[in-house]
Every structure is written in structure tokens, then in C-alpha cells.
Structure 1
């Protein structure tokens, strides 16, 4: 599969970014399925690489607010967008501890939601790796399901926009910029591997 083929396919989704700058779950999954049909396999590892790309992209929001590193599921020190490796854990109990740490950060600093969302992008990547499949219900959108099922890219969009779609403090221009990067750079780089 050539990257140019995936570039063309993903570019066709730019017009599906909503007026508030969002790219819905159903549109993202439609794109994933279209790529899988194009290449003839499930591309699960490509999906996980895309999740890593999103987590690494959002990571500076965490480090801009909190000076400590997450115990795992965070980008390794030399991670870049061209080599987005996370220090993942194979232990579901450790992953639960990370979720608790992030929940506690939200309780003690509710205004830190964007930074915590950056940490949750890392957590969601690790969660999906351990599950081995997507668990988000077909036909649902993020606002209709528990946030524990949101994917890394959605958490990253929250981190980079400064909040969720429904929050007044969130910047739709920054959200749109994230999804443009996602479609133009991250998806082609992740799925063409």
C-alpha cells in the first residue's frame, strides 16, 4: 500500500470536520474501515500506531501543567511524531492505577482537564493494546458513551483544544487544526507502514 493512496483517501475526509472543529467517532471509524478495505486487512497495529501518534502530539499539554512523568503509558524520552513510542505496561492492574492517578488529578485540579486528557490519550492507547480490539459501540458518539471507552485521538483533541466540544473554554480552531493534522499527517503515516 502506497502512502499516496492513503493520503488521497484520508484527504477526502477533511470536509467531514464539523463546524465546531470536531471529527466524530463514526467518521473516524468509517475512515478506518475504508483503509482496511483498501489494503485488505484489519490494520490493528496501524490503528495503535495512530493512537501513539495522537498521544505524543498531546503530551506537551501534560508536561506544561504537571512536571512529573506518568509511571508508564507515557512517551519515552526520545519519542517524536516520526517515532511515537510509549512506555506501555502489559499489566491491567498497573493500567488501572494509572487511571486512578489521572482521576485524582482531575479531582484536585478540575481546571487541569486538558492536561489530564493528554495523560488519558496515553492511557487509552495502552488500554486498546491490552484489549486487542475496539470496544466503542457502533453508531454511538463520544457524548453517548462512558469516557472510559473514548479513544486516544479524542482525548488528544480535548487536550490540544483546551477542552471538550461542549466546553466554552475549548478552542474550535485548535480542535480543527488537530483533526487536520490527524487526516493529513497522522493517518497516512500510521497506516502506510
Structure 2
């Protein structure tokens, strides 16, 4: 059996002979599996993160990932904290990291990957399912390992698409082998020190949080009602058992539905109640309000409502009205204490009177602890009149709605 020193020496030769100075995944898997110690493997990954974190910190001013990396380091070397908490925070920051397009963001991905590796006991290296010697480039980026993310950050690119500096990549992998050798001899103390951010720094870099509309109690309640009604329909109109019931809904003007149930891999049709179709229509209206999960600098929110009213009576035969309302808010966060909002609203009335109006508002806010000052510009395009129709059982009316002219406001507030 080869000594660790001989094995590492042979891997240095692999790096030298490689055209792009990459250390293949198969070599790293064999090396780390020969160690067979989960803690040492994750400590190697942690050192990789600390090696390249300054590249992220210099490019993107933030303390959020530094705090997470420090927590991971404390967990590995001092057994402080819980692995579940690391994964929870990694999931919270993942979308933020994904929103950064620079090469240095690979250093951020390395930290996220480290937390996952700690949680699953380095299974991606020590117990890969159905692994047949493929290199990193054969896998999707979501399953790349911490050391590969770190190598890309250090070298400036992905070796499998001819990116980055081969010399820097060679330097990183040789450092990596030195780190493995050192931690195999003595693994009770970190090799690279990283200082935890101060509490005030973390507060200044808080990512804005949003609740997605599909998580609202209203939609969840309607979904639960659909489940109950669908189960009742099966019990009333179908025979036998089911492994799964599927209700499909699609919108072509209005919501149309189809129902199926599956038993022993056999698919059979089943009816869908009218009340279920109505609930799905209501969900469609509510869920047209959506929010993009924001990254650190940008978020967008849109609301859209379409209305079609038809009325027929002896007094008002075949009367109808169509209207559309669309709102879009673009929020930009130049810094943690600043927010710029660009708001749009479009009202459109088709029949029987055609009228449309487009609004634009702006606001710039600055918040410092309990103080806030905001400059607002309303009706920036100075729009004045909008016509829309209202139907009742006896009348059809066209309303002329007059709006206030363009105005500027300054708002100051203090939270007691």
C-alpha cells in the first residue's frame, strides 16, 4: 500500500502532465477515500473556501457568506453550532450567490457547497452513487464539489470550457495537495484564519426577504379544498383504489380541467367537479400576483387582473365589458440603506368604450436605523382621464375618472 506522501507526489505529476493543469475528480475521489475521514475531508473543503474567499470579498462587498463560512469553520474545528443550521442558511443565500455573474462567484458557491458537504458527511466524495471515473465537467454545476468551485475561483474560470489561467490552476491544486497532507498529520487547528464579521456589518448586508404568493394561506386553503373535493368525487363516481390522483388545469380564455387516477401504473379518467374548476379559477387570479425571489440588488413584483362581464336582460340585452389592469414595481437596492422604486400601472378598457392610461411613479428612500426619508414622484407622466364601463341589471354606465396632476412629495418618518 502506497504511503500518503507517495500518493500525493504521483498526483503532482498528474497536474504537471495535464494540458490545463486540472486535477481530475477521479484522482481526488481516490485520494480522499483513502483518507476515509469525513472531518478531514470537510476541513480540506473549508480551507479551500478560506483560500479563495478574498476573491469574492474583494469583488462583492458583503459579509453574509463570510459569516456562514466562519460558522462552518467553527463547527468543524470547535464543534460549535449545528449542521442543519448551516444548510438552512446556505439555502437562504443560494439564490443570492446564483445572482452574481462574475467568476469570483465560484468562491461563493464553494461556501454553499461546503455546508451541504458538512450536512451529508462528504458523501459526494466518499460514497458517490454509480461513479465510473467521470471528471467534474460531466456533471451539472449543482453537484460540483467545493474543491472544484474553489479551483475555478482561483484560476478565473472553468477548465472544461477553456477558461482561466492554467498556471493559477496548477498553483491551487498543488496547494490543495499540501493542505491534504498537512491535515492528515494534524487536523485539530485551522490552517487559514478568517475573522467573523461584526454584528453591525451583518445587519448592513441583510438580504431583503419576500413571501412568494403560492405560500399565502388563501392559496393553500383553496388547494386543500380541491384535494377534499377531488377525493369525494372519486369515492362517489369511481370504483377500485388509487395510487395517485391528478387534476390538470389549463387556461385558454377560462380555466379547463381534466382528472385522472393511477392504480398499478394504469391511468384512468375521472370527472372533476364544477366547484373544483371554480377554485382553480380563483387560484389563477390570485397567483397572477407573483414576486421574483430578490437577490441583493434587485426585485420585481407584478400584479395583473383581467375582467370580463356579460349581462343579458330585457332592459339590457347582450351587454358586456372588458378591462385589464397591470401593475409592475421594480425595486433597486444600490446599498443596504437605500431603495429606488420604479412603479408602472396600465389600465385598459376595451368594450364598449376603448380607453387606456399608463402611470409611472418614482420613489427614492434612505433608511438609517429608526429614521427614514423618502422622495416620491406621483403620476410622473401627468395623465388625467380614464374611461371604464360598469354594468348593473338595469344600467350600463361609462365613468370618466379624473386623476390628480403630477406631484412631488417628501416623506420623513421615525419609528418610536
If the TM-score is normalised by the length of the shorter chain, which range does it land in? Answer: 0.7 to 0.9
Question: Taking CA–CA contacts closer than 8 Å with sequence separation of 6 or more, which of the two structures ends up with the larger relative contact order?
Answer: 1
The offset of 1:87, in angstroms, is: 8.9
| Match for residue 130 of structure 1 among 101, 119, 126 | 119
Please name the residue that 2:99 is paired with. 104
SS in 2 for 1:74: helix
SS in 1 for 2:64: coil
- Which whole-Å CA distance do the structure 1 matches of 2:80 and 2:54 have between them? 14
The offset of 1:140, in angstroms, is: 2.4
CA contact (8 A) 1:162 1:169 kept: yes
5+ residue gaps, structure 1: 37-41, 107-111
The offset of 1:142, in angstroms, is: 1.4
- Which whole-Å CA distance do the structure 2 matches of 1:21 and 1:87 have between them? 37
CA contact (8 A) 1:163 1:169 kept: yes
RMSD of Structure 2 on Structure 1 (CA): 2.5
The total of aligned residue pairs comes to 170
The offset of 1:169, in angstroms, is: 4.5
Please name the residue that 1:6 is paired with. 4
CA contact (8 A) 1:26 1:141 kept: yes
| Match for residue 89 of structure 2 among 83, 87, 94 | 94
TM-score (norm. length: structure 2): 0.38
CA contact (8 A) 2:42 2:117 kept: yes
The offset of 1:99, in angstroms, is: 1.2
Please name the residue that 1:33 is paired with. 33
Q: Deviations over 1:97-129 (max 9, x none)?
A: 2211101123xxxxx12x110111111111100
Distance 1:58 1:12, change over 3 A: same
SS in 2 for 1:19: coil
Task: Choose between structure 1 and 2: higher helix proportion.
Answer: 1
CA contact (8 A) 1:74 1:88 kept: no
The offset of 1:165, in angstroms, is: 0.6
The offset of 1:152, in angstroms, is: 1.0
Distance 1:144 1:25, change over 3 A: same
Please name the residue that 2:110 is paired with. 121
- Which whole-Å CA distance do the structure 1 matches of 2:137 and 2:95 have between them? 22
